[in-house]
Amino acid sequence: MIDKEQRMQAIAITAFGGPDQLKLVDLPVPSCGPEQVLINVQATGVGMWDVKTRQGSIVLEGQQFPLVLGWESAGIIAKVGEAVTGRDVGTHVICATYQVGIGHYASAVAVPANLIAPMPSSLDALHASALPINGLTAFQAIFEQLKIQPGETLLITGAAGGTGTLAVQLAARVGAHVMVTARNEHHPYLQQLGASEPIDYTQTDFAEAVHAAHPEGIDAVLDCVGGETAARSMQVIRERGRLVSIVDLEQVTPTRHIDTHVLYFRPDGRQLAELTKLVDHGQLTVHLDQVFPLGMAKLAHERLETRHHQGKIVLDVSR
């Protein structure tokens, strides 16, 4: 919570590097601009974008140290900017941003009012903080980029992570046949979410397995791994099929017969509100892998970098 002296705790870095760079610091509470709301942060999601920011792979123009990490959170509106309407102090909200000077690994964050959405009433703040970026990424991949249609076959690689688990549900809800790659221990959970053909990539060549089951090729791939996995995914897609990666296409050889795109999420308050409705109507579930106190962000990053997590890693800012 925000204290009387308007100071807050935050996780910041003063140089790029490994998880040891993450330090718990005391900083001034950010000012609330006329078109912003100030949020008392209860929980914040942890993602590979945070790791890449910490490492220096993602650098926003105008970025300065100390740099507070984090692009998403769940919390309670503490203050409303003078130009903001329709937002009330005390409202529980979620938010995702991609903007210099806005870091969510903190007990308070000031964000554009148009990027917030109501927190799902069926979720606590920890689970709600897992929804914004992964939810928007999955939503934009399935409906905007891949435009998945009923009856189509979609492969999701690295499906056990935060984006993959939500994308499985959205694609299955559309009526797609969803194949996934994940470690064997994640298969039962992914099948509960709607996956039809799980492949253990540690035991089986996933491209050979997909080709054996669908020799004519599949309609689309959502790649959550990048690198060689994205490149090998091209082998299983039919002509005029689609590949979207949320990581990279660095090893993919372009072809005019397959549409390829790299997708980085777009902050969108309206889409977040749609995701909130899906959750509250029981059509979308959020799974937490592990919860760490804010001061243990280092351990959260180390856990994320193993890539063995199932669902989302979050930081509990109230602890």
Burial level of 122, CB count in 10 A (0-12/13-18/19+)?
middle
Q: Is the pLDDT of residue 223 over 80?
A: yes
Tell me if 113 is assigned to some domain.
Answer: yes
CATH number, position 147: 3.40.50.720
* Nearest alpha-carbon partner for 236 in 203, 255, 209: 209
Whether residue 127 is found in the same domain as residue 23: yes
CATH number, position 298: 3.90.180.10
Q: Is the pLDDT of residue 96 over 60?
A: yes
66 preceded by a cis bond (ω within 30 of 0):
yes
Whether residue 221 is found in the same domain as residue 310: no
Whether residue 102 is found in the same domain as residue 141: no
Tokens 């980029």 sit at which residue? Answer: 145
Tell me if 275 is assigned to some domain.
Answer: no
| pLDDT tens digit sequence for 30-48 | 999 999 999 999 999 999 9
Whether residue 200 is found in the same domain as residue 234: yes
The 8-class DSSP code of residue 255 comes to B
Residue 4 pLDDT: 53
The 8-class DSSP code of residue 150 comes to T
Residue 285 pLDDT: 97
Residue type, 170: L
pTM for this one?
A: 0.96
- In angstroms, rounded to a whole number, what is the distance separating the alpha carbons of residues 69 and 48? 11
Q: Comparing 124-138, 219-233, 301-315, which segment has the lowest mean pLDDT?
A: 301-315
Tell me if 172 is assigned to some domain.
Answer: yes
Whether residue 77 is found in the same domain as residue 116: yes
- In angstroms, rounded to a whole number, what is the distance separating the alpha carbons of residues 86 and 245? 36
Q: Is the pLDDT of residue 3 over 90?
A: no
CB atoms within 10 A of CB 28: 11
Q: Among the three residues 247, 262, 277, which one is the final residue of a domain in this structure? A: 262
Whether residue 140 is found in the same domain as residue 247: yes
Mean pLDDT of the chain: 96
Q: Is the pLDDT of residue 210 over 60?
A: yes
* Residue range of the domain that includes 125: 7-131+286-316
Tell me if 173 is assigned to some domain.
Answer: yes
Residues in the chain: 319
Residue 92 CB contacts under 8 Å (≥ 6 apart), including other chains: 74, 75, 76, 118, 119, 125, 128
Whether residue 23 is found in the same domain as residue 110: yes
How many domains would you assign to the chain?
2
Residue 274 pLDDT: 98
Residue 19 pLDDT: 98
Strands (E) located in the chain = 7-13, 23-28, 36-46, 67-68, 72-80, 92-96, 108-112, 116-118, 153-157, 177-181, 197-199, 218-223, 237-245, 258-262, 288-293, 312-316
Whether residue 245 is found in the same domain as residue 312: no
Share of the chain above pLDDT 90, in %: 95
Per the rule left: phi > 0, alpha: psi between -120 and 50, beta: everything else, 56 is left
